[in-house]
Structure 1
């Protein structure tokens, strides 16, 4: 699933391509929007909110999309071949005279009144890359359910918006705790560091084409633990481990170092 930094980059690409231009082609390929025609309206801006994308359009409209596991927006120049996937996977086409944005495999696509955006994103906690970022509020949200595992709490976008499975595993490693440790058992100093460290990681990667939490250039060493099991830990050389973690509705592969991280494990 794309994480906050990836969605931020997608929003910027779409904004640069579309904002300020009039829509010359509108094709929304979901049943509820099949008859919607946005041609002639101007794209005002494209704004990220956590993992959500809000494309605001003249006339008080917002096209809300979410990429979830494998959705994507691609931008093409006139005459450029579309390479985002087969045609049956296209869910949205928004074209201007100079660029065409194509949304592939979008699981969420809806048209809202801009004044009703809170219906789509009002439940989100502070956005790690947004103007509303508030580390104290984020920490309070996380600590509100002390029995909850740190990894699950970090993925709950109601606590803080923008963290996905990769950053969850990397943050827990950098904090020295396993993703299964209850939030209430975090040492006070560690808990206090968590929001600032999460913000630092996403902020450092918001403009990078290749995400890294280690600062190392080699592709196999850009992350400390995520996707690296059973290779050795970059700090202590202990073989890394992986297991599924979830709340019962969905499980995700989780990675950790049994030496560098303390706390319960499966």
Structure 2
């Protein structure tokens, strides 16, 4: 699953490739927007908001801020990606998985593959799409105090589930939540109220994403690409801190829209060291 740093990097790449350019063509391969044509529109910017992406475009002849502007809103979900291609460059993913293609007048294109969500909304109404998100770990309005308060709002909730809830703080995915729990020496199922240093965990989340937002992810810093995580994906391997074997399990979490403590749930993978992270 792409996480906040991946999405931030994707926004930076597309902004560098498209910002300030007019679109020669657009192709939305979803029924709701299949007839929408943004040819002649100008790409103003591409920004990330947690795990969401926003391509903001202005109509031909637009002279006033916000005048008729639209935002192409997308979410990568589990397997999605946006890729940038030069004129005539062959796509590196199967064409049938493309859900959106934005082509600039110089032939540069951005292609969204296997997107979990793609829609076009009025830029003035972006808050309806992403306003529910908590403070963005890589955004200009990062507010650690609010992120901590959001996490504490349900003190009995498992911290591993609370960290993944984008309404609390935006940008953490499954890899980071497992790594954060290890670095904080807490089991992912530990209730938020029992986490000994929640502000430290929030600060660590910020440091990790900031450190990795401009490079290939290396959450442990210095162990190399084969050991780029402390616990995630390392089932049965020795802990890099104490040599105890890493354990894999699952943690039940509420599905979006069903409420934090009741309703339908899904199981998500967790990894931990039983010695470094005893369940409190």
Please give the range of the TM-score, normalised by the shorter of the 2 chains: over 0.9
**Structure 1 position 144 matched with structure 2 position 160:** no
**Deviation, structure 1 residue 191:** 1.3
Q: Show the counterpart of 2:7.
A: 7
Q: Show the counterpart of 2:184.
A: 175
Q: Show the counterpart of 2:99.
A: 91
**Structure 1 position 166 matched with structure 2 position 175:** yes
In structure 2, stretches of 5+ residues that fail to align are 60-68, 254-263
**Deviation, structure 1 residue 156:** 0.2
Q: Show the counterpart of 1:240.
A: 246
Q: Which of the residues 257, 265, 271 maps onto 1:249?
A: 265
Q: Show the counterpart of 2:198.
A: 191
**Following the alignment from structure 1 to structure 2, what is the Cα–Cα distance between the partners of residues 251 and 17?**
38
Query: Match of 2:265, SS?
Result: coil
**Deviation, structure 1 residue 250:** 2.3
**Following the alignment from structure 1 to structure 2, what is the Cα–Cα distance between the partners of residues 261 and 244?**
15
**Structure 1 position 113 matched with structure 2 position 122:** yes
Query: Match of 1:200, SS?
Result: helix
Query: Match of 1:131, SS?
Result: coil
Provide the alpha-carbon RMSD of the alignment. 1.0
**Following the alignment from structure 1 to structure 2, what is the Cα–Cα distance between the partners of residues 208 and 92?**
26
Q: Show the counterpart of 1:260.
A: 276
- Is contact 2:88-2:107 (8 Å) kept? no
Query: Match of 2:206, SS?
Result: helix
Q: Show the counterpart of 1:201.
A: 208
**Deviation, structure 1 residue 64:** 0.0
**Following the alignment from structure 2 to structure 1, what is the Cα–Cα distance between the partners of residues 227 and 71?**
40
Query: Match of 2:23, SS?
Result: coil
With normalisation by structure 2, the TM-score equals 0.91
**Following the alignment from structure 1 to structure 2, what is the Cα–Cα distance between the partners of residues 196 and 30?**
39
- Is contact 2:218-2:224 (8 Å) kept? no
**Following the alignment from structure 1 to structure 2, what is the Cα–Cα distance between the partners of residues 99 and 40?**
14
Q: Show the counterpart of 1:230.
A: 236
- 1:79-126 CA-to-partner distances (Å, cap 9, x unmatched) read 211112x22111001001141111111120000000000111000000
- 1:142-183 CA-to-partner distances (Å, cap 9, x unmatched) read 001000000000000000000000000000000000000000
Q: Which moved more, 1:52-61 or 1:245-254?
A: 245-254
Q: Show the counterpart of 1:131.
A: 140
